């Protein structure tokens, strides 16, 4: 009897050891797995915190979309640099100068040739000081002078570009001066010898005459030095303080200085007569000294 009880106790004990452990008493690995999952879930948010501010700086029109959660900040920066257009140095293009003339309400642009000849060196009205403008405004209206183009055509008094002036009282055609290269108003010349200021090495009266005649200025090739009395006919004594003693509305750019004439001084072959447009009187001028020059052509 006691032996059977012992056997039964042993069997029950063995059966208890062979049962599988319950889920409540075992140590599962779930907490470790949960910890790993939490780490994985926080990584994308860390990437977003680094990348998103950089991605906001990228223009919305960027042709290559960038996913903030799939790239690093370094890759974003490289992409921005790659898309930025490089600065290319370009050679400067030389553009020909232009002059604008108004025709009605339309602006007509005329290209200026690169090489300007004597004939193309046109006259324009110079800027007047306040005192000059006041005196010019008081000049009486006149139909004595006519502006003439390079081709010899007459122009209206308000014309802004001309090359010669026709004196209707005398029938003489006068050269006018400009601020261009060849017929500059401030140039001066010598009758004999060397000196003067001009666009070339030959600043003699004869040299300038030849050049103007070769250019057929205002359609003429018979330009000459004016006589003393012809120059004196141009003198206007009305306003001598601020403007030269000539009608500057037509003879723009006239200098307050002496202009050569073709008349020799009676008592010396080394002197000729000149007319000063500072005071309107004639003066004796040595042929090797400099003076301004205004040519004339017979009608």
Asked if pLDDT for residue 70 goes beyond 80, the answer is no
Measured between its terminal Cα atoms, the distance across the chain in Å is: 170
**Number of folded domains that form the chain:** 1
222: in domain: yes
Q: How far is CA 209 from CA 32, 72, 135, 182, 265, in A?
A: 110, 82, 33, 12, 21
φ/ψ of residue 174, rounded to 5: -105, 140
**Residue range 256-298, pLDDT digits in tens:** 999 999 999 999 999 999 999 999 999 999 999 999 999 999 9
204: in domain: yes
Domain that holds residue 126: 120-297
210: in domain: yes
Among 47-61, 78-92, 218-232, the range of highest mean pLDDT: 218-232
146: in domain: yes
Q: Model pTM?
A: 0.60
278: in domain: yes
166: in domain: yes
**Residue range 86-115, pLDDT digits in tens:** 444 344 333 333 333 333 333 333 333 334
Cβ contacts of 195-198, under 8 Å, gap ≥ 24: 195/288, 195/289, 195/290, 196/290, 197/290
For 296, left (φ over 0), alpha (ψ -120 to 50), or beta? beta
208: in domain: yes
25: in domain: no
Q: What is the mean pLDDT of residues 167-181?
A: 94
- β-strand 271-276 against 282-286: which pairing, if any? antiparallel
* Beta-carbon count within 10 A of 155 CB: 15
């Amino acid at each position: 009897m006691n032996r059977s009880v012992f056997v039964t106790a042993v069997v029950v004990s063995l059966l208890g050891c062979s049962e599988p452990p319950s889920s409540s008493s075992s140590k599962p690995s779930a907490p470790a797995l949960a910890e790993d999952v939490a780490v994985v879930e926080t990584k994308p948010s860390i990437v977003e915190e680094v990348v998103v501010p950089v991605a906001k700086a990228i223009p919305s029109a960027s042709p290559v979309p960038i996913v903030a959660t799939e790239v690093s900040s370094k890759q974003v920066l490289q992409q921005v640099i790659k898309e930025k257009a490089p600065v290319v140095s370009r050679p400067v293009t030389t553009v020909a100068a232009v002059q604008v003339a108004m025709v009605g309400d339309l602006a007509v642009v005329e290209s200026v040739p690169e090489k300007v000849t004597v004939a193309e060196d046109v006259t324009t009205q110079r800027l007047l000081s306040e005192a000059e403008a006041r005196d010019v405004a008081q000049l009486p209206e006149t139909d004595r002078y006519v502006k003439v183009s390079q081709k010899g055509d007459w122009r209206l008094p308000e014309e802004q570009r001309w090359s010669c002036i026709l004196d209707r009282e005398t029938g003489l055609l006068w050269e006018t001066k400009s601020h261009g290269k060849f017929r500059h108003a401030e140039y001066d010349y010598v009758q004999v010898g060397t000196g003067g200021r001009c666009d070339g090495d030959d600043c003699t009266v004869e040299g300038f005459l030849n050049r103007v005649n070769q250019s057929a200025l205002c359609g003429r090739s018979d330009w000459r030095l004016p006589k003393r009395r012809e120059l004196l006919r141009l003198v206007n004594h009305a306003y001598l303080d601020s403007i030269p003693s000539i009608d500057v509305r037509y003879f723009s750019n006239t200098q307050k200085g002496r202009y050569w004439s073709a008349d020799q001084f009676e008592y010396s072959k080394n002197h000729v007569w000149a007319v000063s447009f500072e005071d309107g009187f004639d003066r004796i001028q040595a042929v090797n000294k400099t003076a301004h020059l205004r040519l004339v052509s017979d009608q």
